[in-house]
Chain A
Amino acid sequence: MSRRALRALLLLAGASVLLAVWAFPILWGLLTSLKTERDVLAYPPKLIFEPTLANYREVLFGSASILPNLWSSLVVTGITTILTMLLAVPAAYALARLDLPGKRSGGFYVLATQMLPPVGLIIPYFLVLQRVGWLDTYQGMIAIYLTFSLPFAIWLMVSYLEDVPREMEEAALLDRAGRIRTLLYVILPQVRGGIAVTTIFVFLNAWNEFLFAVVLGGNRVRTVNVAMFNFISVEQTLWARLAAAAMIAMAPVIILGLLAQRHIVKGLTVGAVKGGGRR
């Protein structure tokens, strides 16, 4: 075997091991979701078994259907993500480009809100929402979700916007495009990848959020994470249904990831100025 082939083989083996670490839990979950509760506990674990869709039927249409919870999650996460991006991009642009008084301290303050552990914020949030009657409502949850997704998105976007060459902006401004048009037609297309990445992260953070959802939500707004937790009851853990619910809850994130992937790659490869990027 040539040296080269050996090297390729070793790399492949290394990559497979790393990939397995990532893929194993998901594959295991997928298999579990297709088993009966009895097969889930079988030893040695059954790799060949009669697959059943009963768990999916049960979690989607059974007595403890997670469909309303999926809807809650989608509404909370979707609106949070849209609002975050609408507000974060202009804010990040201002922090990256404009000469504002107090820009540095303002930027630091945005970050500072991220430094408190969420557990420390939960009681004040609970009290505020209770006062205004927003506990267990969509507007309440979204407002709270913005508090952690906005700073995160702003800071991520600032780093992308700072990488756009100033020359492009100056050229557009010289052509009398104006700030807003420059931002919309010149800058934003350059940071498409950044926007896609930020959107995904904001969506992921909100989708997987648990602490605020369980404390500030309730019967009306219960996200799919919290609903899933109820499969682990004090009486028993319904592993197969839990796995089926987890598989379903993963789907929107995976779909979003696949949709955004094209833009991420494009955002990375398209260079407007030769040798572009920050020098």
Chain B
Amino acid sequence: MTRDFDDRATRCRAINRRQLLQHAAAFGAGALAAPAIVGNALAQQAGIGSYQQAKINWRQAAGEQITVAVIPASYFDNLISLAPDFEALTGVSVRFEKVPPGQIRQKAMLDLTSKTATYATHAADPMYYPLYVSNKWVEPLDRFVADTTLTDNAWFNYEDVLRAWRDANSVEGKLYGMPYDGEVTVQVYRKDVYDAKGLKPADTLDQFVENAKAVHDPNNRLWAVALRGFAGAGQNMYIYPSLFRSFGGNWFEGGKIRVNSAAAVSALDWYVDVQSRFAPAAVRNWNWPDIADAFSQGTLGVYIDAHSSAAVLNNPEKSKVIGKIGYARWPKGPNGKRVTSIWNWGFPINAALSDKAKRATWLFITWAASAETQARTSWRFAGPAKRSGVNRTSLWRSPDFVGLMRASGSNFVEAALESLEQDTDVDWRPRVPQWPAVGETMATAIQSALVGQKKSKDALDEAQTRIDQIMRG
């Protein structure tokens, strides 16, 4: 599997030289052909050139081989396709392993618990850092950021990485996973339907219900609303926490997790009521791809979910609602707050690695999280799928990115950026090492209320009892 990267780098240089010669020859032959060839030569250099402005020794871990686990998703595919540039730049070889989203946590945990150091880094769920950190499975990254032999911050500009996501991946003020791609939760609505009825996207949860009443017309196959109903820590427990927080819920009371407070019950009542009145019956089994599919077929008035779902809605192979989509921030809850998710895929460093492998992994992480790579996997990406979850404030504000995102529909960039800057909430979910079990318990409770097996209060009381047991260990 090992390749000779020095040899490869030499070859790259040789190609560039040859192209320069061609360029010179072309110049003599005819100036018409020149621009294309110059462009080509520049493209070749873009792979490495701008990274070399960083005042660090990129080749300090040359010869290392690292394995990175990611999920099958276009935003990682784009990164994988650029990996040869990283290898040429650093002499570190990277092997990617695509693991389905449902299994990646399981596989990463197996590797971390057994200290086998199979994955140098992996696409990590922000809710898992408390668990990782309490077991010292991953490295604190602040020392890598501070080390000037590893990070030239004038080039990398760590502070530019979206603060909300850095906070989400930090435990007690220390960063443990570098955000690579992320999302915010926004309202996605049918602008044509709302306009025809003179409606505006909801500013509050009450307006959200009023809008739903006006739009709901199941006899003509238009259901007003759908929110994730499928049971799972990452499914219905993705929507409910935002409601819980905007109803004024606090996950911790007196140092203990509290999930059956009055606010918690009102939030769950609201969710169950809206879903039962205005959503298709199947919503209890729907995760967001199902919701996006339904919306793309024109059968939903509004849903609240990740801004990245816009890609599906604007896929001409599938969607019937292109050009009819509008976006808005989360509606305000009774306590006046809008709460979006802090979801992002970050890269931690496996603590079981050798020192040199850790440095190689850090180089990979800075390469992937750098503004240059972020731009090259987004609007500068050659393929059709351009990432919408870039990790930096400067990129979100850059005209190129804004220009690309305009096509997603009305108010997309504004809604997403304002959410990112104002509506994120680090305490969106309870950040405890026991999160996996707590999240699943909550998911079961929410679903049992949604399908009418239990009243919200009873479901949450039972969840409270179970969570108390889980927290006692």
Contacts and interface: CB of A to CB of B under 8 A. Distances in A.
Contact of A236 (B103, B110, B292, B320): B292
A246 to B, nearest CB: 15
Interface in B83-104: 95-103
Contact of A235 (B97, B99, B289): B289
Interface size range on B against A: 35 or more
A214 B116 CA distance: 17
B419 interface: no
Contacts of B107: 214-215
Interface string B94-134: 01111111110011001001101010000000000000000
Contacts of A37: 317-318
Contacts of A237: 289-290, 293
Given A215-B106, A234-B73, A235-B312, A229 B289 contact: no
Given A36-B317, A38-B318, A43-B299, A233 B292 contact: no
B318 A235 contact: no
A130 B107 CA distance: 13
Nearest to A42: B297
A232 interface: yes
Interface in B47-84: 71-74
A126 B107 CA distance: 10
Nearest to A226: B100
B100 A232 contact: yes
A230 interface: yes
B97 A236 contact: no
Contacts of B102: 229
A233 B71 contact: yes
B9 to A, nearest CB: 25
A130 B67 CA distance: 15
Contacts of A214: 99-100, 103, 107
Interface in B393-452: none
Interface of B: 71-74, 95-103, 106-107, 110, 113-114, 116, 118, 221, 289-290, 292-293, 296-297, 299, 308, 311-312, 315, 317-318, 320
10 contacts: A37-B317, A41-B297, A42-B297, A214-B103, A219-B95, A219-B97, A226-B100, A229-B102, A230-B100, A235-B74
Interface of A: 36-38, 41-43, 122-123, 126-127, 130, 135, 214-215, 218-219, 226, 229-230, 232-237
Given A214-B100, A236-B318, 9 more contacts: A38-B320, A41-B293, A43-B299, A135-B118, A214-B103, A215-B106, A234-B289, A235-B311, A236-B289
